[in-house]
Structure 1
Amino acid sequence: MQRMNRWGVLALFMTLAGLPAMARADVPAGYRLAQTLVTQEGSSLQVLEDQRISAQLHKDSWGSGLDEDSFDEPGDLVENPLREAQVRLVSASGAVIAHKDLGYPLAKVKKAALNGQPEPVYFLTIDQTAPMGSYSGPATQLLLPAKRQLEPVGYQDADGKFKPLILASTGKAAWKVSTPAGGGADELLQVSSFMDGDGDDDFATRYQTYRWVGGQWHGASTQKAGYWDTESDFPARTAFP
């Protein structure tokens, strides 16, 4: 008999013991299964979206915002607003291990190509783009399904406080994975520009670095006067702490 993974064994034990089994991974009414990504452990990360959002509409709307003009029958959205996307972790045996509502209609997951991590890391990106403005956009968090299921990864800041690690992609913010010149675990670099004063030209730019040290992420940041947006090149590594 093919060996089961731990989630399959758990589901089988609960069934044989007469205990309530975990919910089966049926697609809820009004949703479509937008994405399935099999993890290294054999479980699956699934993204569910409103069934009115086709795969093509998801692609066309990503990063630009969904509004009533995106749909052939916009009047339906008045009485039936778009359902928020969901992410869930499903065992190899088809049981829902964990589930989370995401607050926005569009989302996607992918394997994170991060060197130096003890567990496989996945990026969950939720499209928070508003129809207008340059301060909103996709927001990415890190997941460790084998260890933390769908609980997002956090980091420790310079003051010792723990905060959620969220990477923003907007008209005035961008991030990238960076490999240190001296070797070691990959780092995450985030640049963001924002108003910092009363004048129209009063901007500041923040440079943040997230490093994997001692089994957890640590954050460091520096801020300088000046403006940056995504029409500019990503800053040189020397701009980051």
Structure 2
Amino acid sequence: MHNSNRWAAVALFMALVGLPMGAFAEPTKLPVGYRSAQTLATQDASVLQVLEDQRISAQLHKDSWGNGLDEDSFDEPGDLVEHPLLNARLRLLSASGEVLASEELGYPLAQVEKAPIKGLPETVYFLTIDQTAPMGSYSGPATQLLLPSRQQLTPLNYKSADAKVEPLTLAQTGKAAWQIATPAEGGADELLQVSSFMDGDGDDDFATRFETYRFVDGQWQATSSQKAGYWDAENEFPARTAFP
């Protein structure tokens, strides 16, 4: 039966038995070349959906996460020359399957999860985009915060000490890491980010930055400090006292 005829028949049946149309809403179509890699129901009954190139299986996603995804990862790498990998997309769907918002994410792998941050007035979600390059230690998964009930797929911003407002992005690389921390004095959880980078002309000239993101007066705010020295992912995460 043709799709239009099929759904007309469904509509007639539901009208006869008194069911609302939303009870059997037509499934939301996927863009050509994509598979639904993840769906996550939100607190307000909407759904966050991650789409990835259909050539990236769930197992390949798992094996490649944080390791870099290149042509050697595929059984038929030659196909990527004529048909490069599609970048992941994030969609926000209503309970009935309507696409409320959609964003292309710039890289092939992504995932979403409910953020386990305590003390916030509303539930936020982590969107992590795997930006790992096949080589090097300065790239890796980058995490942003989403508030679908208010901002849909627009990432949350933070205000820096110099009053600049920018998207809050947390890096996990060979020379950067972050954690959620509960302040001893109470209040909302904080986000701690440590990162190390070249700071001079010599091979051993490194500096390490310590950043704290706090939710204050309805907005994320950042403070930071910096000292000479090197940190990488093989080291223990710095003590809370290292952060401002």
Q: Is 1:117 aligned to residue 120 of structure 2? A: yes
Name the structure 2 match of 1:34.
37
Name the structure 2 match of 1:194.
197
- Percent identity over paired residues: 74
What are the residue-to-residue correspondences of 1:13-162 with 2, within 5 Å?
25-162=28-165
Greater Rg, structure 1 or structure 2?
A: 2
Residues in 2 aligned to 1:88 and 1:206: alpha-carbon distance in whole angstroms: 34
Q: Given that residues 49 and 106 in structure 1 are in contact (C-alpha distance below 8 angstroms), is that contact kept between their aligned partners in structure 2?
A: yes
Q: Is 1:237 aligned to residue 202 of structure 2? A: no
**What SS does structure 2 have at the residue aligned with 1:160?**
coil
Q: Given that residues 24 and 96 in structure 1 are in contact (C-alpha distance below 8 angstroms), is that contact kept between their aligned partners in structure 2?
A: no
Structure 1 segments unaligned to the other structure (5+ residues): 1-22
Residues in 1 aligned to 2:52 and 2:108: alpha-carbon distance in whole angstroms: 6
Match among 149, 154, 179 for residue 182 of structure 2: 179
Residues in 2 aligned to 1:178 and 1:26: alpha-carbon distance in whole angstroms: 40
Residues in 1 aligned to 2:171 and 2:126: alpha-carbon distance in whole angstroms: 12
After superposition, the C-alpha distances for 1:143-175 in whole angstroms (9 at most, x for unaligned) are 000010000001000011101100000000000
Name the structure 2 match of 1:5.
none
Q: TM-score, normalised by structure 1?
A: 0.90
Q: Is 1:224 aligned to residue 227 of structure 2? A: yes
Residues in 2 aligned to 1:41 and 1:24: alpha-carbon distance in whole angstroms: 20
Shift of 1:211: 0.2
Shift of 1:25: 2.7
Residues in 2 aligned to 1:212 and 1:24: alpha-carbon distance in whole angstroms: 38
Amino acid at match of 1:114: I
Structure 2 segments unaligned to the other structure (5+ residues): 1-25
Q: Is 1:165 aligned to residue 168 of structure 2? A: yes
Residues in 2 aligned to 1:171 and 1:158: alpha-carbon distance in whole angstroms: 26
Match among 210, 213, 219 for residue 213 of structure 2: 210
Q: Given that residues 126 and 138 in structure 1 are in contact (C-alpha distance below 8 angstroms), is that contact kept between their aligned partners in structure 2?
A: yes
**What SS does structure 2 have at the residue aligned with 1:65?**
coil
What is the count of residue pairs matched by the alignment? 219
- After superposing on structure 2, the runs of 4+ consecutive aligned residues of structure 1 that deviate more than 4 Å are none
Structure with the largest fraction of helix: 2
Residues in 1 aligned to 2:176 and 2:78: alpha-carbon distance in whole angstroms: 34
Shift of 1:24: 7.2
Q: TM-score, normalised by structure 2?
A: 0.89
Residues in 1 aligned to 2:203 and 2:129: alpha-carbon distance in whole angstroms: 30
Amino acid at match of 1:87: L
After superposition, the C-alpha distances for 1:169-228 in whole angstroms (9 at most, x for unaligned) are 000000000000111100000000000001000000000000000000000000100000
Name the structure 2 match of 1:18.
none
Shift of 1:116: 1.2
